Amino acid sequence: MSGADEGTHPTEPYPQDLGHEHPTVPLPRGAAHGDGVPPRPPLPSAPVAVAPPRRRARSPWVLGLVLVLLAGIVVGGEFVARAVVAQQIRSQVITALKLPADQQLDVAVGGIVLPQLVAGRLDDVHLSTKSVAIGPITSAVDVDATGVPIRGGALGSATGTFRITGDQLEAAIKAAAGASTPIESVTIDGAGVKAAGTVSLFGASVPLALALTPGAEDGELTFTPTSASIGALTVDSGTVASSPFGAALKPLFATQKVCIADRLPAGVHLGGLRVKDGELIATFTADSAITTDPALLENGTCPTS
């Protein structure tokens, strides 16, 4: 039984010869084999979603490197500025005070220098030297200045000290008292100063000891005797007049003075003199106008006796 009989897949009949009115068109040569036939264009594919490019996060080490470089630039600039400022201050102080060019003088500027340069004023400056001649005294000096102007203007404040050892004090007192002084040695003892020597009484040399109280007044270092011992006799300033040798001893109670005002700028004022740790400590202050008035940089004068 054929498929045509079953009616499921009928077979198409072969086309009849239609004659000359409908000739069969032959296929082009090679068409049966696909030769010469243009290829079909490929079917369009479905669009593929492309993710947008991701932004690379900045690596933490890059930011850290930048910060380190910036910090290095700031630190380097600070170091250079500090050195230049210290050198300039040293040069100006030596010139203003007429000190030797090779004078040892250390300068320390407090705080961060760069912002202070921008502001035009240094907050804190410390000057120190181990040895500088102040009249008959060679002393170590320390100065603390605040509000130091860079481009002109008044000084905020300046206070300082200079230290005097016993040997230096002895030389200064002997020089001030002159060759006729009976004082042979000077020592710093406790809170005061002691001087020792000999005096002649009735043709005999008698040991002398004086207790002196240090002070400062009008640009002078003062040493005022408070008691005197001659041999076994001890008198003070209140009893010397009534003592058996009052007339001979009274001159010993005269205050000894060592003037240094003519070796200091006129704008520097002595404040006091005290004993500390075996040394005499003299304190002084500077006039705020010392940075604006050239006359205050000139040496002062000693009081007339």
DSSP 104: -
DSSP 261: G
φ, ψ at 27 (rounded to 5°): -70, 145
How many distinct helices (H) and strands (E) make up the chain? 5, 12
How would you label 232-265 residue by residue, b for 16+ Cβ within 10 Å and e otherwise?
eeebeeeebeebebeebbeebbeebbbbbbebbb
**How buried is residue 55: exposed, middle or buried, by Cβ count under 10 Å (0-12/13-18/19+)?**
exposed
How far apart (Å, rounded) are the C-alpha atoms in residues 191 and 282? 14
pLDDT in tens, the chain (305 residues): 444 444 455 555 555 555 555 555 555 555 445 555 556 655 555 555 555 666 555 566 666 666 666 666 666 777 888 899 999 999 999 998 888 999 999 999 999 998 999 999 999 999 999 999 887 788 899 999 999 999 889 999 999 999 998 888 888 888 777 766 788 898 998 778 999 988 887 778 889 899 999 999 989 999 998 998 888 888 888 888 787 777 777 888 888 888 889 989 999 999 999 998 889 999 999 999 999 999 999 999 988 76
CB atoms within 10 A of CB 7: 7
Give me the pLDDT at residue 73, please.
64
Closest by Cα among 176, 146, 140, 175 to 159: 146
Write down the pTM of the prediction: 0.69
Closest by Cα among 66, 67, 146, 140 to 106: 140
Give me the pLDDT at residue 20, please.
53
Query: Do residues 122 and 139 touch, judged by C-beta distance below 8 A?
Result: no
**How buried is residue 99: exposed, middle or buried, by Cβ count under 10 Å (0-12/13-18/19+)?**
middle
Sign of the C-alpha dihedral, residues 202, 203, 204, 205? positive
Sign of the C-alpha dihedral, residues 91, 94, 98, 103? negative
In order of 76, 142, 144, 197, 285, the CA distances from 160 in angstroms are 32, 5, 6, 33, 6
Give, in degrees to the nearest 5, the angle at Cα 287 between 292 and 157: 95
Give me the pLDDT at residue 56, please.
57
